[in-house]
């Protein structure tokens, strides 16, 4: 158990809708990252929040946005859902010191299906 939880575990949405996924980080960690994992692929980095501000972003459009709260929780919001957004969404928390990413602790993921 990593101490990182995500909700919901599964979600079905229709193309064009909006979705919010939630994550509770491990206590004491100052960084949360979100990843998208398509079937049969490795996770792809969406963005990272450090002390409640986005400080890194992968190759994802602005309709992917997030928030990090002082209580170690965070959200991933996706607007105008597309069929290709169907994937497993993983959040990971970590402690960054000295500017370099070390071990990340992953939650179990939310599986999103867009119809």
Partner 1 sequence: SQQGEEDPQALSIQEGENATMNCSYKTSINNLQWYRQNSGRGLVHLILIRSNEREKHSGRLRVTLDTSKKSSSLLITASRAADTASYFCATVGSGGGADGLTFGKGTHLIIQP
Site for partner 1, rule CB under 8 A: 2, 4, 33, 35, 37, 39-45, 47-48, 50, 55-56, 58-59, 88, 90, 92, 96, 99-109, 111
CA–CA gap between residue 50 and residue 97 (Å, rounded): 11
CA–CA gap between residue 90 and residue 47 (Å, rounded): 11
26: its two tokens: 């491990």
Question: Which residue lies nearer to partner 1 by CB, 17 or 113?
Answer: 113
CA–CA gap between residue 11 and residue 76 (Å, rounded): 14
Question: Which residue lies nearer to partner 1 by CB, 2 or 65?
Answer: 2
Compute the least distance from the CB of residue 14 to partner 1, in Å: 23
Question: Which residue lies nearer to partner 1 by CB, 13 or 106?
Answer: 106
CA–CA gap between residue 16 and residue 29 (Å, rounded): 34
């Amino acid at each position: 158990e990593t101490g990182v939880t995500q909700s919901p575990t599964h979600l079905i949405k229709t193309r064009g809708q909006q979705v919010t996924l939630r994550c509770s980080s491990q206590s004491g960690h100052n960084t949360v990252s979100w990843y998208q994992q398509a079937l049969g692929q490795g996770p792809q980095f969406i963005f990272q929040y450090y002390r409640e501000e986005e400080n890194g972003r992968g190759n994802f459009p602005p309709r992917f946005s997030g928030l990090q709260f002082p209580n170690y929780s965070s959200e991933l919001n996706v607007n105008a859902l597309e069929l290709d957004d169907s994937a497993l969404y993983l959040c990971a928390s970590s402690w960054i010191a000295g500017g370099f990413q070390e071990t990340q602790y992953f939650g179990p993921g939310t599986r999103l299906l867009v119809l």
